[in-house]
Amino acid sequence: MSIATKTRVAILVSGRGSNMVSLIEAAGAPDFPAEIALVLANRPEAGGLARAAAAGIPARAIDHTAYPDRATFDAALDAELRAAGIELVCLAGFMRILSTGFVEAWAGRMLNIHPSLLPLFKGTHTHARALEAGVRLHGCTVHYVVPELDAGPIVAQAAVPVLAGDDPDSLAARVIVQEHRLYPAALALVAGGRARLEGGRVVFEAGTAPADGALLSL
Ligand code: GAR
């Protein structure tokens, strides 16, 4: 596949950007169907910005505190994405709620990774809440973004066991290893056209096996 046919992807981060790094590394493979063309952070101090720049990816902060409200911040974000010719957005630890208008403008073209097996444990503190609930399996989910938080159609999930003696940190450490496998696999399915939205659900091209990326477990 030539460079020209690769999907232009932007990654949005708020923090250290370890999922961003896994996407950048995967996209370095010649046959990966997406190229990471831009990284944006809503916090100037986000560690992900330096890591993206070190990988040679254009990386910019759009400081949300400099904007009077959510709509003007989202408009600035949208303008940057369009100026860069972005076709698909990957949220990777982007901890700011996006307005309905922005989400609808990027409907079907925006993915998120969430650290739980959705629809369980939407929102924050997912690992502590999984432990509190006593589930035996936990994990992560890549899904299309819809206006309702963490509620969009699911592309791919990876499961990990919850072990005796786990605390939120040990469980998070087990989940993040799977996040780093799952997000590149899910992005490859979507950017390569093997997974797509149909009637509010994700459907896979005939012949695509779960092991191609939609389901990972230990
Ligand atoms: C990841 O665990 C990601 O799933 C989570 O934040 C972490 C970011 O880490 N995202 C959310 O909780 C979104 N609601 P990273 O910056 O190292 O990729």
The string of pLDDT tens digits covering residues 170-198 is 999 999 999 999 999 999 999 999 999 99
Is the pLDDT at 213 greater than 80? The verdict is no
Active site residues: 114
Question: How many CB atoms sit inside 10 A of residue 123's CB?
Answer: 10
The percent of residues in the chain predicted with pLDDT above 70, rounded, is: 96
**pLDDT value for 4:** 53
How does the average pLDDT of the chain come out, rounded?
95
β-strands 195-198, 154-161 pairing? unpaired
**pLDDT value for 138:** 98
User: Is 40:78 a contact under the CB 8 Å cutoff?
Assistant: no
Q: Which atom of ligand 1 is nearest to the CA of 175?
A: 2
Residue 115 Cα to ligand 1 midpoint, Å, equals 7
**pLDDT value for 211:** 73
Residue 206 Cα to ligand 1 midpoint, Å, equals 31
**pLDDT value for 50:** 98
Minimum CA distance residue for ligand 1 atom 14 = 114
β-strands 154-161, 137-144 pairing? antiparallel
Quick check: CB of 86 below 6 Å from ligand 1?
no
Peptide bond into 119 cis (omega under 30): yes
pLDDT band for position 208 (cuts 50, 70, 90): confident
Residue 14 Cα to ligand 1 midpoint, Å, equals 9
Q: Which two tokens stand for residue 162?
A: 């919850």
Q: What is the pLDDT of residues 105-154, one digit of tens each?
A: 999 999 999 999 999 999 999 999 999 999 999 999 999 999 999 999 99
Q: 3-class secondary structure for the chain? A: CCHHHCEEEEEEECCCCHHHHHHHHHHCCCCCCEEEEEEEECCCCCHHHHHHHHCCCCEEECCHHHCCCHHHHHHHHHHHHHHCCCCEEEECCCCCCCCHHHHHHCCCCEEEEECCCCCCCCCCCHHHHHHHHCCCEEEEEEEECCCCCCCCCEEEEEEEECCCCCCHHHHHHHHHHHHHHHHHHHHHHHHCCCEEEECCEEEECCCCCHHHCCEEEC
Q: What is the pLDDT of residues 15-39, one digit of tens each?
A: 999 999 999 999 999 999 999 999 9
Is the pLDDT at 160 greater than 60? The verdict is yes
Closest among 12, 84, 83, 86 to 42, alpha carbons compared: 12
